[in-house]
Each structure stands twice: as C-alpha cells, then as structure tokens.
Structure 1
Amino acid sequence: MSGVEEFEELRPLLFSIAYRILGSVAEAEDAVQETWLRYDRSATVPESAKAFLSATVTRVSIDVLRSARVRREEYVGPWFPEPLLSDPYEDPARAAELADSVSMAALLLLERLSPLERAVFVLREVFAFGFGDIAAAVGRSEAACRQLLVRARRHMTDGRPRFAADREERRKLAARFFEAMADGDVGGLRNLLAADVQMVGDGGGKAPQFAGAVVGADNVARLLGTLFPLLRRIGVTCEPREINGQPGAVFRDRDGKVLHTMTLDVLDGRIQAVRSVINPDKLGHLGPVTDAWAVDREVKEARRQSI
C-alpha cells in the first residue's frame, strides 16, 4: 500500500482525533492536512503509519489548541464547538460510545482540560491508544501521561454528560419536539422539556443571539412556540439531523441556505438542554450560509404584522 493510500485509509481516524481535541471542523481539517504534509516530507518510512500519523495530528492539534485558547477567551458570548453532522470514523462495536464522546456536552466539558490533558484523554478514553503511543504523541513519559489522564478524568467525572441509553428513544423525542415547535404548540413543548432546561445560542457577536441563557420549561416553550411559526412564515425550514451524535436539526432560509443548527440533550425522557450555533463562521462547512441579521429583521416585521 502506498503512502497516499495509507494516509487516506487513516484520514477518518485522524480527523476524529483532531476534532475532539479542537472542537472545530475547519481547524481539524487543517490539522489533518498539515499531518499529510509532514508525512509526505518525512525522510524515512515509519514502521507504523497509524502510530506516526496519529502522533503527528495530535501534536499539531495541541499546538493549534494552545493558540485557539486565547481567541476563545475573547469570544463574544457562549462558545460552542462547530456542529458536526457525521463522524467519519466508524466502529460499529463502539458507535454509541463514540457518538457520546463527540456530543456538544462532552466537547464543552473537554474545554475544562489543558491541551495536554485533553489530548491524552481523547487518545486513551475515546480511541483506546496504549500509553506508549500516547507518550510518543504528546512528548511526555508514560508515567506523566498516566498522571495527565488521572487529572483529566477528575475534571471530567463531575460534569460527564449522561444521555438516554436508547438512541431510538432520543430520536422519537426529538421528532415530537420539532413537530410541536413547528406547530407553535407551547403546551406540547413544555411537556417534553425538563423543568430546569436551558436554551443557549452561540452567535459569536456575528449573528443575532439571546442576551443570555433562557432557563425553565415555561420560558423555553413560550419562546420556541412563538418564534418558529414566525420563522416558518418567512420561509425558514427545519431539517432534522443527527448533529454531534445527538438529535438536532439544521435550519435553512427560503433559498436553502444555512441559518443555524440546534442540538438537544436528552435524559430521563426529557430535553435537558437546547443549543444553537448561529455564528456564520462555524457553519460554512455545512453549505452556503444565510445573512442571519436579514432573517432577524424579517422575523421582527412578521411579528409586527401579527400584532
């Protein structure tokens, strides 16, 4: 097998490692491309292409994450990972586990970790790499990597996301949620939401977003039950999709351009969190992005006319 063929075979794994470390589709793709350039320029043929490429993409991702941390500290409003419609790395035996590890909730929890802790946690807990390979990837001893993993687990344990075990149950609940939202059924929405549900949007200062989190079943139900019928009046559609391994939807304007995404955290038969990504910089990989400010103006006009 040629070097190009080996790389392409491992590309899904490399992207999946990079995305979990970085929480960004664009940055993960760039990290994979940089990994290929280093592989192609390598003067020697590595004994294991998988070990070499995994170590390289991990080191590249750690470097990118360190610089990204500064930008995220200056970010306007809540920061969410870029929505991922499908994880290219497939392992049928661990499909549910891999999906949960790429959820918005899990990726936000990983933000608590240092870049080294995050890389060690991803390689060990998600992809089951041995400590020898992890040590080579992050440039630390095996003993140091074990300590990094202990610290990472400690940070992750308290807030570790829990989801309904039955993926079909989640899908059905999400379908009822989006149907009730489309119908403006405030009571139906309220029945699907946890009492302390939170709805949060990531606009990054580049699109309309809530001033803060909307908290409580009544508040979230009223807002969604009022807002989406207005969006429908101006041609916005809701396309249910699995996003970051969890139930969600892509919202598009009348021309089919992406407006925002929404993901749902489901536990104990109720929706615990609703997260929207509307920052256009985080949506370009999903297709052409609409002008959210223009849509916002249309919604306000539709609301004025309905009064």
Structure 2
Amino acid sequence: MADRPTGDTSLPPRAAEFLELRPLLFAIAYRVLGRVTEAEDVVQDTWLHYQDVTERPRSPKAYLSTVVTRLSINVLSSARVRREEYIGEWFPEPLLEDPYQEPERAAELADSVSTAALVLMERLSPLERAAFVLREVFGFDYAAIADTLGRSQSACRQLVVRARRHMARGRARFAADRRAQQELAARFFAAIADGDVDQLRDLLAADVQLVTDTGGNAPAPPRPIVGVENTVRVLASVLPELGRVGLRLEPQPINGEPGALARDREGNLVQAITLETGEGRIRTIRSVSNPDKLTHLGPVADPWQLARDYRESRRRQR
C-alpha cells in the first residue's frame, strides 16, 4: 500500500496539495458516513486514487472532493444494510475535534456534526445525504454537486430540497447559545458528581430522554428512559455506584456539543456522552457505549466486567 502523506515540507506538490485539503475531505466523509474509522479509510483511499492520476487535475479541491464523496456514498450504501440490522439505537462514532476549521462558519459546522444532526441524516438516502452535506454544510454550487453525483443540476436541487425537508421535520426548534450550553453542561456534570438530585431535576426538560447506543455489545436499559423523574431515578441510582467501582466523568466537547468521556479506574474508555439542550434545559442525553465505536479514541474498557463490578458493589452495600 502506498504511504500516507506526512507533514514533511519536502513532500512533492501532489502530496502537499492532498495534505492541505485532507481536513476538508475528512469532514465531508465523516458527515456522510457518521463513522470516524470509515471516514479515515475513505480519505486514505482518496489519496491512493490521487496518486494514480496521470495528469494533475485543474482543481485538486474539486477532484478530491468528488472522489471522497463518491467513495463515501459507496460505503454508506453498503453500510445501510448493517445499520438496519443494528441492535438498538444507532448514533455516530464520537468525534472529539473536527479537523476542518472555518472561523466565520464555526457555529454552522459544529451544528452539522452534532449527534442530533447526524442522527437525522440517517433518514436520508445516500445521494440526499451527500447533496445536503456538499450544499448546506460546505457551500458547493450545484454545478459542482452535479459533477460529483453524476446527476443534473435540477436533480441535485431536488435532492437538497428533499433533504432539507426531512432535516427540518426533526430539528429542535430552539436557538443554540454555545456559552449557555457549556454552562448548563457544567452544572449537570457537577450535579452528577455531587449526587445532587434536586439540581439534576431542575436542569432537565420535562420530556427529557436518556438514550444509549450499545449495538448489543454493552449493558444498558432496553429502551430510552423518558421524563424527568425516570431519568433522575436512573442517574441518581446508577452513577454513584459506578463511581464506587472507579468510573469517572471527564467533561469534553463531543461532536460540537457539550459532553463527557466516562473512564474506568485504569483510564480505559467506557462511554461517550453528549447533551442536547434547548430553552435552558437538557432535552436529550445520548450515550455511546458500544466498544466498537470507541476504539478510535484509545483503550476501551470491558463493559460487561464493569457491570459485574457494579452488581458486586451493590451487593456489598446491602
């Protein structure tokens, strides 16, 4: 396999071009696929394609964006069958930092990579999703999208219109204030650490949901927990016990949203938690505890052993 380009300034022009565009290519692939590992594989395959091109494209950005999008569509089309068979809720692989930075559009880019947005994108067909990402997130014109997707500009406009309609139906109707979100998250995680049930109750929306993605590979409630009292009951009963067996929460933005990484006493990752907020309350608590979706972040704990330790801790308290 050809080597991945590095940051060496002596690289040939083609490798330098690719490195410059790599953050954009990953950002496109991740938003189309919702998986870090698959997006990285697609970006690497794009580099291999670029090495095989005999003549330098007139626009490396246009060429590489086209390749990475088409490869992502192919991967997504085959992955959709697996996702239909997925056990329980499906959430994207947690992304700690988006490598593509455009300061003047930071809020839009963060919103497009949020767990809530990526879950909504699962409703779209692969072509709708790709068209939506290229147009609504990265501002590609319809001529470029048509070339990328091999469709007419009119057809691409229809793809985007349908995608917008689907996304609008599921969007929360609350304006996001980033600072307020972070302050709310800090209070939430502090209340968990202190076991402050009253504070937790005050921070949660009336229809709050606690939802976990395990893929059948970790213990979790069989269905979403809905409502303030049910959610508080679960958090207040489970988390203190997990603390006794060494679980700790590290507040950390995830997918552009307030969140935290949960680790065991050895520092191995147990789950990634994101918070969706609105009107000064936490509306959805999403947790990814499927080990297969956490390995790109480092060593992962055995969730079943943690559950056994939890049960043993409870038994000793009786």
> What is the TM-score of this pair, normalised by structure 2?
0.95
Match of 2:202 among 173, 191, 203: 191
In structure 2, how many angstroms separate the alpha carbons of the residues matched to 1:77 and 1:187? Answer: 30
Residue correspondence of structure 1 range 116-135 to structure 2 within 5 A: 116-135=127-146
Q: Which amino acid aligns with 1:197?
A: V
Q: Which amino acid aligns with 1:259?
A: V
How many residues get paired? 307
1:164: Cα distance to partner?
4.5
Is 1:15 aligned to residue 40 of structure 2? no
1:165: Cα distance to partner?
2.7
In structure 2, how many angstroms separate the alpha carbons of the residues matched to 1:77 and 1:165? Answer: 28
In structure 2, how many angstroms separate the alpha carbons of the residues matched to 1:290 and 1:67? Answer: 29
Is 1:158 aligned to residue 169 of structure 2? yes
Q: Is the 8 A contact 1:62 1:115 kept in 2?
A: yes
3-state SS in 1 of match to 2:95:
coil
- Classify 1:90/1:163 alpha carbon distance in 2 versus 1 (closer, same or farther; 3 Å): farther
Match of 1:56 among 53, 64, 67: 67
Could you tell me which residue of structure 2 aligns to residue 45 of structure 1?
56
Q: Which amino acid aligns with 1:123?
A: L
Could you tell me which residue of structure 1 aligns to residue 43 of structure 2?
32
1:209: Cα distance to partner?
1.6
Q: Which amino acid aligns with 2:219?
A: P
In structure 2, how many angstroms separate the alpha carbons of the residues matched to 1:161 and 1:108? Answer: 13
3-state SS in 2 of match to 1:155:
helix
Could you tell me which residue of structure 1 aligns to residue 284 of structure 2?
273
Q: Which amino acid aligns with 1:264?
A: L
1:163: Cα distance to partner?
5.1
Residue correspondence of structure 1 range 133-172 to structure 2 within 5 A: 133-162=144-173, 164-172=175-183
In structure 2, how many angstroms separate the alpha carbons of the residues matched to 1:196 and 1:23? Answer: 26
1:162: Cα distance to partner?
4.7
Consecutive unaligned residues in structure 2, runs of 5 or more: 1-11
Match of 1:94 among 105, 113, 128: 105
Residue correspondence of structure 1 range 220-239 to structure 2 within 5 A: 220-239=231-250
Q: Is the 8 A contact 1:240 1:248 kept in 2?
A: yes
Q: Which amino acid aligns with 2:249?
A: C
1:161: Cα distance to partner?
3.6
Deviations 1:201-222 (A, max 9, x none): 0110111121100000111111
Q: Is the 8 A contact 1:198 1:273 kept in 2?
A: yes
Could you tell me which residue of structure 2 aligns to residue 244 of structure 1?
255
Q: Is the 8 A contact 1:163 1:265 kept in 2?
A: no
Is 1:256 aligned to residue 267 of structure 2? yes
Residue correspondence of structure 1 range 46-85 to structure 2 within 5 A: 46-85=57-96
Q: Which amino acid aligns with 1:182?
A: A
3-state SS in 1 of match to 2:287:
strand
Could you tell me which residue of structure 2 aligns to residue 287 of structure 1?
298
Could you tell me which residue of structure 1 aligns to residue 124 of structure 2?
113
1:166: Cα distance to partner?
1.8
Match of 1:296 among 289, 307, 314: 307
Consecutive unaligned residues in structure 1, runs of 5 or more: none
> What is the TM-score of this pair, normalised by structure 1?
0.98
Segment of structure 1 superposing worse, 107-116 or 176-185 = 176-185
In structure 1, how many angstroms separate the alpha carbons of the residues matched to 2:267 and 2:175? Answer: 32
Deviations 1:131-169 (A, max 9, x none): 111111111111110111111111111112455532111
